[in-house]
Amino acid sequence: MSKKILIVDDASFMRMMIKNIVTKAGFEVVAEAENGAVAVEMYKKHNPDLVTMDITMPEMDGIQAVKAIRQIDPNANIIMCSAMGQQSMVMEAIQAGAKDFIVKPFQQDRILQAVERVLNR
């Protein structure tokens, strides 16, 4: 059975890019969300094995969403996606419970490496 992934990013092309990479590798994308508030609802609904979470988004940012999801599921597997220059926010996200991070622009190998590593803990 393939692992289920929730992709969270306010940019639809970024979601599509990640979706293409992970589905080609055999993962199932069960839902997508354009902000943290939607991500929390999608997490409750689909209970994915892994979440890729953008940091800067409208309504609820990635760090708030990580905290909210970790309250629902303390064992949630979340990988943060950040642009260059967001190191302090990445550290805050890791402290909030994210298990890894990938930097934009995405490299396919790095995304798959992070997904495999987090899911195989």
- Helix (H, G, I), strand (E, B), or coil: what is residue 36? helix
Residue 77: HSE in the Cβ half-sphere, 13 Å Cα cutoff: 16
Q: Is the pLDDT reported for residue 121 higher than 70?
A: no
Sign, CA dihedral 25-111-105-51, equals: positive
Answer whether residue 15 is part of any domain: no
Answer whether residue 42 is part of any domain: yes
Q: Provide the pLDDT for residue 21.
A: 97
Work out the pLDDT band at 86, boundaries 50, 70, 90: confident
- Structural domain boundaries, residue 111: 37-49+67-79+102-115
Total domains in the chain come to: 1
User: What whole-number distance in Å separates Cα of residue 77 and Cα of residue 52?
Assistant: 9
Helix axes 62-72, 36-46, angle to 10 degrees: 20
Answer whether residue 41 is part of any domain: yes
Answer whether residue 110 is part of any domain: yes
Answer whether residue 73 is part of any domain: yes
Q: Provide the pLDDT for residue 88.
A: 85
The predicted model gives 13-32 an average pLDDT of 97
Q: What is the pTM of this model?
A: 0.94
CA dihedral 37, 82, 121, 28 (to 10 degrees): 60
Average pLDDT, the chain: 94
